Amino acid sequence: MSEQESIDSMNNFVPLPPIRLLLADDDSFIRESLKVLLGLDPGIRVTGTASNGHEALELLETGSPADVVLMDIRMPGCDGVEGTRIIKSRFPDVRVLMLTTFDDDEYIIQALQNGASGYLLKNVPPDRIIQGIKTVYNGDMLIHPDVARKLASLLRPTAAPQAQEPIDSYGLTRMELAVAVAISEGLSNKEIAAKLFLSEGTVKNYVTDILGKLSLRDRTQIAIFMLKNK
């Protein structure tokens, strides 16, 4: 590319629109603090705040668009678990990232099964939250390492071996299985590509094939499936 072509390319560059973010937390101080902190990132635009899951849904339905909902779990009226379920049922393309001080086993499993794309604890620094928002926006899943380890132990099958469908009966190839395992470890497509010496495009193709073979909705369900079948 010539110098003039490079200049023309820069002049024609159109910046990507910011991620539209909706905040849901029953603590007004936390809501406003997150709104200020996350709003400092030029790649994020906070479009609304809510005090529970019902309010978050109402905002989505009445013209406050969002690509990602950052949702607390324990909220009065409609908690984050139920909020995730109703939001994903009405707006399946909206990503939900759980952010909470609680790491209760029941909440973790229910939130992910209801369609949450990730789960972070509130003790992580703001830049980790920002990265988490961008991660789930890009279609990857994000689970706090402590939560991932707990999920692995909770979801291991306790039924007799003969009652468990063998993983190889689903027809996954060796590479598809490797990608599925990496997803269950919380790795992004970029990280999986580096680990398995593949291109990101190839990883995306594998994810699509895995979803089809396992009849699953998204990569979060792949992670849950793999954790159950380890």
- Find the range with the poorest average confidence among 3-12, 53-62, 215-224: 3-12
Q: Which residue has the higher pLDDT, 93 or 9?
A: 93
- What distance lies between CA 119 and its chain's CA centroid? 7
Kindly state the percentage of the chain with pLDDT values over 90: 50
Q: Which residues of 20-47 are buried (b: 16+ CB within 10 A; e: fewer)?
A: bbbbbbbeeeebeebeeebeebeebbbb
Please name which of 83, 74, 78, 129 lies closest in space to residue 103, comparing C-alpha atoms: 74
Q: Give pTM, 2 decimals.
A: 0.76
Q: Which residues contact 196 (CB under 8 A, 6 or more apart)?
A: 175, 178, 179, 182, 203
Contact 155, 227 (CB under 8 A): yes
Q: Which residue has the tokens 């029941």?
A: 106
